[in-house]
Amino acid sequence: MSKPDIEIKIVNNRRLLRQFINLPKSIQGNDPLWIPPLRLLERLDYMFGKNAVLSRSEHILLLAFFQGKPAGRIIAYIDPRYNEYYNSLTGFFGAFECVNDSSVSKALYEAAELWFKKQGMTAVRGPIDPVAECWGFLLDGDTPPVYMSPHNPLYYNNFAENSGYEKAKDLSVYEADCGNGYNMPERLTDFADKILSSRQNFTVRRIDPANLSAEAEHILRILNTAVSGNWGFVPVGLDEMKDLVSKLKLIIDEDAIWFVEDDGVPIGCALGYPDINVLIKKIDGKLFPFGFISFLRGLKKLRDYRLWGLAIMPEYQGLGLDVLLYVSLSLALQPKNVRLEANYVLEDNLKIINALVKLNLDVIKRYRVYEKNLSD
């Protein structure tokens, strides 16, 4: 039973939204691995409906107070695109933060679940944060999070389990650190050369930043076709792709985004980007008045990168074209002495896991997504 001095409030004014946004720093600010969000962008996403998922989804922001002070938060939302695709009645939660008090977390989950039930939902899954673009609670690992990946106290997992949530899926993170001696296996570079010499219709190229809109449409088509069988997949809309492009446009590195083409038509892509979290931490998430200058100056010095996704159209899978992308990405970034994370690898995506093992990448952390049946 919740303590009587715990109060759950719906965030419905600027003051409560400010408290909602400020809460993570009060909980995680002393953790040297924690990275603050870019505060201006986060505030705009919540306030003005600029976030594609929230714009189409019924949602509610909840803030928990303990003895009159903010102590926890959660966002509950219902994505119609997901429920239509899977013919389901599933709600999602994200943006979860909580002091180390199970009574507060229990009150937050109960309030979110009550709202879901009133909307007719029969299940809930999370954390999947539509604003931070983060999936799962950190389950193990002790490295700082890369941009658009989560970090949290490990007790968040206990809170979820104590509130009746069960594992839905684990996501792994693999690392290749050129500064720590990593080199692309020579047999793979030889294999890539063999493909390009024997199948001259296949070519690889970097992204063209001058034609970013057209390139984004290629990526959208490839992703929606190639990963449609993956757990949790929902067709990516043009609105979401524009959202992602707007977040990454400033930090695009041509060496980190590659296409493989068949007679000039893109049929696969590898999507990487520099990890700007080290810069965000340096400016404490504040772009203005002077953080933006420091941010821009630091971009060219980054050596941490994230491989966000890699996909090959189904009819071309099994031909080794993923190797072309891995090799092109690795050879382009290696002179920069890069540490690369391949992030959000589903525990049962054996094709990708086998490829990463062949690349001699190491697992360094895991995240866990939870779910709960609300119809019991």
Number of domains in the chain: 2
Q: Are residues 159 and 283 in the same domain?
A: no
**In-domain check, residue 374:** no
149 and 171 in contact (C-beta within 8 Å)?
no
Residue 132 domain-assigned (yes or no): yes
If asked whether residues 163 and 78 sit together in one domain, one would say yes
- Which residues are CB-neighbours of 114 under 8 A, at least 6 positions away? none
Beta-carbon-side half-sphere exposure of residue 229 (alpha carbons within 13 Å): 9
Please tell me whether residues 163 and 72 are part of one structural domain. yes
pLDDT tens-digit readout, 130-180: 988 899 999 999 999 999 999 999 999 999 999 999 999 999 999 999 888
pLDDT at 1 over 50: no
Contact 64, 70 (CB under 8 A): yes
Give the residue numbers spanning the domain of 200.
183-359
Task: Give the integer Cα–Cα distance in Å for 146 and 158.
Answer: 24
Pair (309, 355) in one structural domain: yes
Same structural domain, 147 and 228: no
In a shared domain, residues 333 and 227: yes
The residue among 171, 192, 218 that closes a domain is 171
Do both 167 and 221 map to the same domain? no
Cis peptide preceding 127, ω within 30 of 0 = yes
Q: Strand 257-262 and strand 202-206: pairing?
A: antiparallel
Last residue of a domain, one of 144, 171, 198: 171
* Same domain assignment for residues 100 and 66: yes
Query: Does residue 58 sit in the same domain as residue 125?
Result: yes
My answer on whether 58 and 148 are in the same domain is: yes
Q: Are residues 165 and 230 in the same domain?
A: no
Rounded-to-10 torsion of CA 208, 209, 211, 217: 80
Task: From residue 61, give the alpha-carbon distance in Å to each of 74, 77, 237.
Answer: 6, 9, 24
Global confidence as pTM: 0.92
Same domain as 221, residue 161: no
User: Shortest CA distance to 73 belongs to which of 152, 168, 165, 133?
Assistant: 152
Structure confidence at residue 3 (pLDDT): 60
What's the mean pLDDT in 15-44?
92
Residue the block writes with tokens 């119609």: 80
